[in-house]
Chains A and B, each alone.
Chain A
Amino acid sequence: MLQKTSPEIGGMGHSVKRKEDLRFIQGKGTYVDDVSLPGMVYGHMVRSPYAHARLTGIRSEEAKKLPGVLAVITGEDLAKAGLSWMPTLFHDKQMVLATGKVLFQSQEVAFVVAEDRYTAADAAELIEVDYEDLPVLVDPHRALDADAPILREDREEKTNHIFHWEVGDRQATDGVFQTAPVKAELNAFFPRCHPAPLETCGCVADYNPATTKLTVWETSQAPHAHRTLFALVAGLPEQNIRIIAPDIGGGFGNKVPIYPGYVCAVVASLQLGRPVKWIESRSENLQSTGFARDYHMKAEIAADRDGKVKALRVKTLADHGAFNAAAQPSKFPAGLFSICTGSYDFSEAFCEVDGVYTNKAPGGIAYRCSFRVTEAAYLIERAMDVLAQELKMDPVELRLKNFVPPDKFPYLCPLGWSYDSGDYKAAMELALEKIGYSELRKEQEEKRRKGELMGIGISSFTEIVGAGPSHTFDICGIKMFDSCEIRVHPTGKAIARMGTKAQGQGHETTFAQIVAQELGIPVADITVEEGDTDTAPYGLGTYASRSTPVAGTATAMASRKIRDKARKLAAHLLEASEEDLEWEPGKFFVKGAPSKSKTIQEIAFAAYTNFPAGLEAGLEAVHYYDPPNLTFPFGTYICVLDIDKGTGEPKVRRFVAVDDCGNIINPMVVEGQIHGGLTEGLAIAFMQEIAYDESGNVQGGTFMDYLIPTAVETPNWETDKTCTPSPHHPLGAKGVGESPNVGSPAAFVNAVVDALSHLGVKHIDMPIAPWKIWKILKEKGISE
């Protein structure tokens, strides 16, 4: 068990106020658009209005004549340098600037550089681009039809099919289905949505011809990976590339990929020898950068008549848009979607996914989820409700009957994952008690008699986070370890640097708390720095809830290395043997003589002023952590809502979220993460979709159409927790930032369907806007 530190030290379990908030709430953060360099010029992107068109000519003479315009870069220009295409993060390539044809609306076509932003934007309007429109492919179900246009002429395979991926035992699963007395089937579409971070993407590229050093300030969740990719793609020496990710205003996976704008800014800076800033507009962000989901899923459950589940069969069509720019580990074309058996003890399962190209923006990033876990959790939690409906069984009873029991952990699921720990029943029971489940069901019955619509939705999800063990996990070949380097200064203060990069998660506080826990140095005395590839140790960045499970452990391990050295120094100072020393957070003392002690601060000073012969000076350590397994946080969410029969509006009355993320570093930060994730889940369930019309026009390309929840729409979140530590994580922690986004959509949708289930409604696809419900009420003749 971890020793609890004093509030002054502020180690694990203390709700230490976030150190970074002081500058954030005062508007004193440094975001990429705050970076201003002498001689800096500005880039603006010319984009395609067509979803699919032949590019027959670009005329930029008028634009170049405009005073202040410095350069216009086209795909043909980049082609000369071999840079018109770049690799995506997932076994594919994408156009930096279009050559030959465009494949989605808002695709990058030309890059204008001018002395100021306004001139660059004006010049972009003067560039005439000739297009010949081509047949547009929007519906992924049509992608493999014989008469569908082949989108990717650059590929050898003349098909829109990207990959087929399957896991599990097809034959055994089919066998169970053949004899199963009860089968439930769900066809669900998880719509294309977008993380829509508050800050859009952007960069400042600064190539210094005198030093031949390229510095790029960039909104990047993975600065080191970007540096290596820049080195490999552009052929620049890696030591001459410095990526700095400054403060980031939200990422949620959207800031993992490398976007054409970054490459164009770098090329322009190399060409002009001046710093080039490029910042996306809101619409550019929504229309061209990494989207998430867009999974057309079918789930079937085979069960006994008493509700014991036997087998799960999942078939999914994944719409990847024009390029497969999914940001996920190389060996997993559908990410960790195969966690789709969820919290339930299936004996057999089979899951297959086919990816296709369409004329839509590229992506498939993990929006606040660990690579497609949200899709998986939504599917299984929705499907369990469909089965409950089929069996006329309470969804809670069905879940309790099928949970993986606590004594079965570590649990090997039929799709191959080894769940580290879990107690699903405990989380469920706490949630039921908090919400007053049985009373709510009684109330619902009464309301139904009166003709009122009320629904209760349950989601008892399991996540899989913390990628990941190097034997299975890599991105573009780089293993998914992470790192921490700690230096303790002579006065006992410290700086810790990681390979991760916070975008609002609070790393400056929580990682300092891990160091505080391990070394007893007060949180206030520890600086956490991330995002500068010249100073931070190499790491894969922050996404997929991997920072705490991976870099958090690296931080603990680096701290422990320092403590080992501190023990040697303390032994020297106390003239005792190392074995005779005991540690309590903040000091070593001689066993049996607690007054004979040396604080970590005294030891740090000695590391520079009075170290024994044969011991290196200084007190620092670095650790690269390769986790043995992933971590599996879980929880139960319950949503209660009422439906207005006049407008079809679902009003969330209560929402209880019980999370279990193992040992908690900072309860306040965890609660904040859960509030944020639930709010995003609410938006996904009810408000958001990046839809396309039949010509490939984006229908969710502005905040007029892609809605962001405000305080008005957001209900009160009631949170609680159970604690089942991860057995393999040195701190017993699991990662939590994404659980609420993963677990909540199913709770909302289950609640809406539950409210309408007595009318024969079995499923409604997200986003459940009021009109969808109103239409159903109208059909059933009960709208007011």
Chain B
Amino acid sequence: MAIRIEKTFQVQEPLESVWKFLSDPKKVANCVPGAQITEAVDDRTYKGVIKVQVGPSVTDYKGQVHIERLDDENHEIEIVGKGQDVRGKGSASMKMAGKVRSLADGSTEVVSVSEVNVVGLLAQLGARMINEVSNKMFEEFTKNFKARLQQERPQQSTPQMPPSTGSGATDEPRPIKALSLVLSVLGESVVRFFRRLFKGSSS
């Protein structure tokens, strides 16, 4: 199943630092819940894993991301990624176009358009929920993104880890708990439903 996700958010940071952060896949990967870069193949291609937990079963997508286009001048980036579950339950691929621009108040706007295609068990079971699940994931991503960007500010001279040592420098990825995401999404739809219901009866 293919889904298109368009997201826009603002960061209270100057454009250049946001762009620097966004154009570094290792840093961005650390903001994606459950994801981790394990190896740099070249300066534009990275291998990585992402763990997604559905109930008791953990899906490990193993794959690689590649920066198709990096436009420092216009602050645009295009990334393609592809991963396969190591237990053969499916795969996911993604194409993401990101763009940052300065806003009048000095903050920075990040716009991303992603096309994600999920194949296999997750696509079978999660079909109805996947949009809302991705919204939740994105929410978490934004939160991490902002937090990590902020962390970087006081210590801008932090040396970059050599790409090949990969995982040693980063936090152990925690799996995304799709089920708990689903539950919280469900919770929200229930609340929305009741809100509509009562609104309907009172009007």
Contact = CB atoms under 8 A, between A and B. Distances in A.
Interface of A: 46-47, 49-51, 105, 109, 124-129, 131, 133, 693-699, 701-702, 704-705
Classify the secondary structure of A's interface with B. Answer: loop
Ranked nearest first, the 10 interchain pairs of A and B with the lowest CB-CB distance are A49-B120, A697-B123, A49-B90, A125-B87, A693-B1, A701-B124, A129-B88, A695-B119, A697-B124, A698-B124
B186 interface: no
Nearest to B1: A693
Interface residues of B, number: 19
B200 to A, nearest CB: 9
Contact of A133 (B2, B86, B119, B123): B119
A695 B88 contact: no
A464 B85 CA distance: 48
Nearest to B82: A133
Given A693-B1, A695-B1, A695-B117, A128 B123 contact: no
Given A46-B88, A49-B89, A694 B2 contact: yes
Given A46-B88, A129-B88, A704-B125, A697 B119 contact: yes
Contacts of B85: 49
A695 B124 contact: no
Contact of B119 (A50, A126, A127, A705): A50
B103 interface: no
B120 A105 contact: yes
Given A128-B86, A695-B117, A695-B119, A50 B91 contact: yes
B93 to A, nearest CB: 8
A313 to B, nearest CB: 37
Contacts of B117: 695
B127 A699 contact: yes
A62 to B, nearest CB: 10
A294 to B, nearest CB: 18
Nearest to A51: B119
B88 A693 contact: no
B84 interface: yes
Nearest to B117: A695
Contacts of A693: 1, 123, 127
Interface string B67-94: 0000000000000000011111111000
Interface in B116-150: 117-121, 123-125, 127
A131 B84 contact: yes
Contacts of B121: 49
A482 B128 CA distance: 48
A618 B139 CA distance: 83
A695 B2 contact: yes
Given A46-B88, A49-B85, A696-B119, 11 more contacts: A49-B88, A49-B121, A50-B120, A105-B124, A128-B88, A131-B91, A694-B1, A695-B123, A699-B124, A699-B127, A704-B125
From A124, A125, A704, name the one whose CB has the most chain B CB atoms within 10 angstroms.
Answer: A125
A51 B117 CA distance: 13
Contacts of B123: 693, 695, 697
27 contacts: A46-B88, A49-B88, A49-B89, A49-B120, A105-B120, A105-B124, A109-B88, A124-B88, A125-B88, A126-B87, A128-B88, A129-B88, A131-B84, A131-B91, A693-B1, A693-B123, A694-B1, A694-B2, A695-B1, A695-B117, A695-B118, A697-B119, A697-B123, A697-B124, A697-B127, A704-B125, A705-B124
Contacts of A705: 124
Contacts of A699: 124, 127
Contacts of A704: 125
A694 B119 CA distance: 10
A279 B21 CA distance: 52
Contacts of A127: 88
A105 B1 CA distance: 13
Contacts of B90: 49
Contacts of B125: 702, 704
A702 B85 CA distance: 20
From A50, A128, A697, name the one whose CB has the most chain B CB atoms within 10 angstroms.
Answer: A697
Contacts of B87: 125-126
A697 B88 contact: no
A49 B91 contact: yes
Nearest to A48: B88
Contacts of B124: 105, 697-699, 701-702, 705
A782 to B, nearest CB: 16
A137 to B, nearest CB: 15
A519 B1 CA distance: 62
Contacts of B2: 694-695
Contacts of B86: 128
Contacts of A694: 1-2
A46 B1 CA distance: 22
Contacts of B91: 49-50, 131, 133
Contacts of A47: 88
Contacts of A51: 119
A232 to B, nearest CB: 33
A705 B85 CA distance: 23
A105 B127 CA distance: 15
Contacts of A109: 88
